Structure 1
Amino acid sequence: MNASLNQRLEKVEWGEYKVGDLFEIKSTLSFNKNQLVSGNDYDYVTRTSLHQGVLQETNFVNENNLNEANVWSLGLLQMDFFYRKREWYAGQFVRKIIPKFSVNENNARFFSVILNKLKPVLLQVLVRNVDKTFENQIIYLPTKNHQIDFDFIDCFISELQLEHLSNLEVYLSSHGLDNYVLSIAETRALQDYKNIEWREYKIGDLFKKIRTKKIAYKAKNLPNEAVNEFNLPGLTASFKNQGLNYYVPRKNVTVLKNVISIPSNSDVYRAYFQSREFTVISDAYAIEWNNIDAPLSTNQYLFMVMAINKVTDLPIYSYKMKLGGWNIVKNKYIALPHVEGNIALNFMDNFVKAISKLAIKDVAQYTNKHIKLPK
């Protein structure tokens, strides 16, 4: 945050407000996803935290179950609040949070942050106590003349967004992501995807597990933000933040980078490419490409991750129905593109570049449209 925004925050008067005076919490009428109609007019929201709580999209089902727009959903699993811009349907164990004030785009962002700060408290209570616990919480908000200072909130979020967009444009430019025009090779890779030959390869023939030093800390005792010497991300079985939710000191640990991580004891067995330095804490491990004479590029690693997740990140695996560790995974087979007797590494590189450009195109165009950085 820049100095100007920090100075403005230092001058703000903050007041105490009871959540129940600002929001109403209500149960939602739910139904099974099998009753949904195909389409994309409405969101079907469940208690999951993935994809902003949206399990899938649907077309009109019925008026009784349709929830209004410009409210928040609360999934009674991870207790995450998500703002709903459009009308939506709900699965089981979802509450809706109805504001008692006028909501616009800026204060919706602000109050999303405020509401999610209540998550630790709500996670400690039983589901039947969520409503009263929510309503009785006290939050602190910018205040002017004993009223919520909505003007400050609006201006603050606008300035903060502009700063973030400026930083994003610099990042895109410095990493070559502002160029979203596909090259001839990238266009050809997209065209060849459906027609290219695929062959199966044993994971253990392609990758090897990396031996790491045992960490002398338990995850629950570690900070989840970098603090002093605790500044190296540590890997666990979590699928949030690519499994990197804790920090450990760098002394006497194995520092890894540009490898693939896989959980070994989890609800979700999703592999990730770890492009930044980290170490392994517990319930997960890291693998690297076997051929040290021909190392994989970042894009090729990303392609490999997609292939690995086809056989590990499956609904049949959970904490109760475990996938297992490397001794199991190394014997699984993945499908990879094949050209002239070899894995099509060049194709993989160009394909991921093309997908990245298509994915970033809207972001790059958005930043170009909304901000103009000084030359």
Structure 2
Amino acid sequence: MKHVEWGEFRLGELFEFEAIKQAKSQKAIPTDNTENGVPYIVQSMSNNMFSRNVNKQWLIEHNEFPVSGNRIVLGVTLPAVSYQPVEFGASQVITAKSEWLNNKNGVFISSSISKLMYQFSYQKKPGMKIYKNMSVLLPAKNGGADFEFMENFIAELETERIAELEAYLSAAGLKNTSLTLQEQQALDDFKDLNFEEFNVINIFNVKNSGNILSRDIIENRGETPYLCSSNKNNAVSSYISYDEEYLDKGNCVFIGGKTFVVSYQEKDFYSNDSHNLILYLKNEEKRNKFNQLFLATCINKSLGHKYSWGDSISNRKIQKDEISLPTQNNQPDYSSMETFISAIQKLVIKDVVHYADNKIGFCRKKQMFV
């Protein structure tokens, strides 16, 4: 990259722009995770602007036709940007398309555009005219954009990341995605589980977390998770090095006190706010990752409707709260929880393994013909 020639290119000269504004409320569109579904793209600055899959036929019947893919998508009221390879539904976005755009240079260019989005906010909104006049820095060759370099760079980066993923799956023992008889049974029996209410404090020891202000840390200068109340990245804001006196023990359920974001934390961590709560399972023999992932979901489902930014949870309030848990003989059925989450993990990892294997096979075939 350090030997690349760079040039500034005005987006209005590179792309044809189009405003996409669908009339129907997003909530009215039915979710569809089958082959009849298409991605629904919103003005989100996370998850590549993806919201969920929606029914394509419903969009057509309601004159909300899917947008053809192979476009860069830009936010109207938020500084969001992504590349969308396949057709999609959308609300309140601007798209940029060109005949030379593809899934390699599209990713490169959208990443380059994202570096310019810092100048916008909800108060200072971007828009069609602004995007057309925006100049982006791109690899250049013979006075034009060097698309060949962009495509080769993304291809090499993808190959490198897929190899790292393959190594991680093997080292973590996640390559075996075959369900055991017990795991398949746990999936089949889930709808028949008996749930009962339990006081939170009868299941967990509850404590407030430490309190390290963001102004007192140096971001990404350490290996210990620094947690906040965000629903992104499992509540991990950064990785830091700090006084171990303020370190909280992991292997617990963590609740962002002001936002009620619930997560499982495997490692020891630092926290940004003493309003955050830490829940340690009293039954230490059952205090493992799988059980606590299940418990974190139960807490979220049981209590999420009660708490919000204006009415946040606290150590005092949670003392009276109850959560619904699967039971056997009137006691929490930790064995069912553990087996069920183990099965879910395998189902999720199965798709990842399939993706990695296909990508690696494709790259190796490609190398044979180079």
- With the shorter chain as reference, the TM-score category is 0.7 to 0.9
Match of 2:356 among 367, 370, 375: 367
Q: Is it true that 1:329 corresponds to 2:318 in the alignment?
A: yes
Q: Does 1:345 pair with 2:369? A: no
State which of 94, 103, 106 in structure 2 corresponds to 1:105. 103
**1:53 offset after TM fit, Å?**
3.2
Is the partner of 1:79 in helix, strand or coil?
coil
Where do 1:273-312 residues align within 5 Å?
273-282=264-273, 284-291=275-282, 293-312=284-303
Bigger shift: residues 35-44 or 101-110:
35-44
Q: Which moved more, 1:200-209 or 1:44-53?
A: 44-53
The CA distance in 1 between the partners of 2:229 and 2:273, in whole Å, is: 7
Counterpart secondary structure, 1:271? strand
Match of 1:197 in 2: 194
Which of residues 215, 233, 241 is equivalent to 1:241? 233
Counterpart in 1 of 2:84? Answer: 84
Instruction: Specify the SS of the correspondent of 1:193.
Output: helix
For residue 180 of structure 1, report the CA deviation from its aligned partner. 0.5
Which AA in structure 1 matches 2:309? Answer: Y
| TM superposition shift of 1:64 | 6.4
Pair 1:44 & 2:40 matched: yes
Indicate if the aligned counterparts of 2:72 and 2:83 stay in contact, CA closer than 8 A: yes
Match of residue 263, structure 1, among 245, 256, 272: 256
2:42 aligned partner, one-letter code: T
Letter aligned with residue 17 of structure 1: F
Larger mean Cα displacement after TM superposition, 345-354 or 192-201: 192-201
Partner Cα separation in structure 1 for residue 30 and residue 207 of structure 2: 47
Cα distance 1:33–1:290, how it changes in 2: closer, same or farther (>3 A)? closer
Letter in 1 for 2:302: V
Match of 2:139 among 133, 136, 142: 142
Counterparts in 2 of 1:182 and 1:245: CA distance versus 1, 3 Å: same
Letter in 1 for 2:224: L
Per the alignment, residue 117 of structure 1 pairs with 115
Output the amino acid matched with 2:197.
E
How far has the Cα of 1:325 moved from its partner?
A: 2.2
Q: Distance in 2 between matches of 1:78 and 1:220?
A: 26
Choose from 217, 220, 224 the match for 1:226.
Answer: 220
Task: Work out the CA distance in 2 between the residues paired with 1:349 and 1:53.
Answer: 30
3-state DSSP class of the match of 1:348?
A: helix
Query: What is the identity, as a one-letter code, of the residue corresponding to 2:225?
Result: P
**CA distance, structure 2, for counterparts of residue 213 and residue 164 of structure 1:** 35
Query: If the length of structure 2 is used for normalisation, what is the TM-score?
Result: 0.84
Secondary structure of 2:192 counterpart: coil
Letter in 2 for 1:353: S
Corresponding position of 1:11: 3
Between the aligned residues of both structures, percent identity stands at 25
Does 2:179 match 1:182?
Answer: yes
Partner of 1:126: 124
**CA gap 1:96/1:161 in 2 versus in 1, 3 angstroms:** same
Which ranges of structure 1 fall in alignment gaps of 5 or more residues? 1-8
Per-residue CA distance 1:103-157 (angstroms, 9 max, x = gap): 2121222223222222322227523x54444344432212222221111111111
Secondary structure in 1 matching 2:246: coil
Identify which of 132, 148, 151 aligns with 2:148: 151
Code of the residue aligned with 1:277 in structure 2: it is: D
Alpha carbon RMSD of aligned pairs, Å? 2.9
Structure 1 counterpart of 2:368: none
Alignment-mate amino acid for residue 22 of structure 1: L
| Gaps in structure 2 of 5+ consecutive residues | 365-370
Which residue identity lines up with residue 310 of structure 1 in the other structure? K
Instruction: Check 1:344–1:45 CA distance in 2 against 1; reply closer, same or farther (3 A cut).
Output: same
Contact 2:251 2:267 in 1 (8 A): yes
Q: Partner amino acid for 1:29?
A: K
| CA positional deviation for 1:169 | 1.0
The answer to whether the 8 Å contact 1:29/1:65 transfers is: no
